């Protein structure tokens, strides 16, 4: 069984390195970590892209980095986030349905096929490490706008529809 190597980065971030067949890979950063053992990472209350270079690079592959920076600057203040304006500013509204779904896959940190509320709170960090956390009010409003079937999460089709509305 592989043995994870855990190193604390700050009070709110933790990076877990997992040695798999001799290769160390950065797996996740976590906030509110409840339990770490030699083989298990339990009770993650949220996952973040802040220490996932592959995910950050992937977003930059789809969207213009300068547009991302401008959009993050426009919504840097708490309670200022507007998903529709943000999607317009980063250039996501111009993208095809397939391209939007690729962006969705980057934001779906746990690869569940959905963006859940705990992932949505950190969605701006999915666009850039410098992105801020959404407030609880912003997160709930964003979720309500995107969750068309009422299951408490946003699927790829719902996300694509939200971007192109």
Residue 101 CA to residue 112 CA, distance in Å, equals: 14
Tokens 């990472």 — which residue?
A: 41
Q: Is the pLDDT of residue 138 over 90?
A: yes
Is 112 assigned to a binding site? Answer: yes
Q: Is the pLDDT of residue 12 over 90?
A: no
Is 116 assigned to a binding site? Answer: no
Instruction: Please indicate whether residue 74 or residue 60 has the higher confidence score (pLDDT).
Output: 74
β-pair partners for 4: 18
Is 114 assigned to a binding site? Answer: yes
Is 108 assigned to a binding site? Answer: yes
C-alpha distance from residue 128 to each of 7, 44, 60, 123, 165 (Å): 22, 21, 9, 9, 24
Is 153 assigned to a binding site? Answer: yes
Is 110 assigned to a binding site? Answer: yes
Token pair for 6: 């855990």
Confidence of residue 62 (pLDDT cuts 50, 70, 90): confident
Query: Cα 28 to the chain's mean position, in Å?
Result: 11
pTM of the model: 0.67
Cα within 13 Å of Cα(50), Cβ side: 18
Structural domains of the chain, with CATH: 4-44 (no CATH), 55-163 (1.10.238.10)
């Amino acid at each position: 069984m592989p043995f994870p190597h855990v190193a604390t980065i700050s009070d709110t971030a933790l990076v877990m390195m997992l040695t798999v067949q001799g290769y160390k890979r950065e797996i996740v950063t976590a906030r509110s970590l409840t339990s770490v053992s030699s083989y298990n990472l339990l009770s993650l209350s949220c996952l973040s892209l802040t220490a996932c270079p592959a995910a950050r690079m992937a977003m930059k592959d789809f969207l213009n980095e300068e547009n991302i920076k401008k959009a993050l600057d426009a919504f840097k203040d708490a309670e200022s986030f507007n998903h529709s304006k943000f999607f317009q500013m980063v250039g996501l509204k111009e993208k095809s349905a397939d391209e939007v779904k690729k962006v969705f896959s980057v934001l779906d940190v746990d690869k569940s096929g959905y963006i859940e509320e705990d992932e949505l709170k950190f969605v701006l960090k999915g666009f850039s490490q410098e992105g801020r956390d959404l407030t609880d009010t912003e997160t709930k409003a964003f979720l309500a706008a995107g969750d068309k079937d009422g299951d408490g999460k946003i699927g790829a089709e719902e996300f694509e529809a939200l971007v192109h509305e």
